[in-house]
Amino acid sequence: MTGLTCTLRPEQIGQVVEIEERTFAQPWTVDDFEWVSRDEGAINLGLWKDETLVGYAIGAIEGAGFHLASLAIDLPYRRQGWGSRLLCASMARAATRGCQTCRLEARRSNDAALQMYQKFDFAVDGVGRRFYTKPVEDAWLLSRPLSAL
């Protein structure tokens, strides 16, 4: 597997939104991604294979913690290790910026994501009741220390 992980640039938002819309029932908007791309406290990474954007990870630094808000891999590249690669790059970037922990939410029904997060030693901290609205579903609240990278 080859790939390049880089900070997303504002002109790449269109590609990110296309993946977002193919992935999530309640996708972020172009405005959401543009706002994050200008936020100095954000970590926004894209993962490319040759000239193709394979996936992205977006998150915010909140004190000593990193909140991974969205991670998606485009349909043809799923279950090939791209998500793991992007998750590792995001956590490593957060650690270099002084973050001690990483937290995120995942749909309780998203078995593929939950398996990946379990592989990276994320622990369940609780349940976010009715966290998602389309369709309505609870979220697992997950976290892990970044010191173990």
The arrangement of secondary structure in 4-145, i.e. its CATH architecture, is 3-Layer(aba) Sandwich (3.40)
Structure tokens at 80: 């090939």
Mean pLDDT across 46-63? 92
Contacts (Cβ under 8 Å, ≥6 apart) of 39? 60
Q: What is the mean pLDDT of the chain?
A: 90
Query: How high is the pLDDT of residue 96?
Result: 94
Sign of CA dihedral 4, 19, 66, 84: negative
Helix, strand or coil, per DSSP, at residue 65 = strand
Q: Confidence class of residue 39 from pLDDT cuts 50, 70 and 90?
A: confident
Q: How many angstroms separate the Cα of 5 from the Cα of each of 97, 113, 140? A: 17, 20, 27
Q: Bigger pLDDT: 71 or 41?
A: 71
Nearest of 82, 78, 144 to residue 111 by alpha carbon: 78
Q: Which two tokens stand for residue 125?
A: 């901290």
Q: Look up the pTM and report it.
A: 0.89
148 pLDDT band (50/70/90 cuts)?
A: low
C-alpha closest to that of 19 among 74, 57, 81: 74
**112 vs 143, residue with greater confidence:** 143
pLDDT band at 8 (very low <50, low <70, confident <90, very high): confident
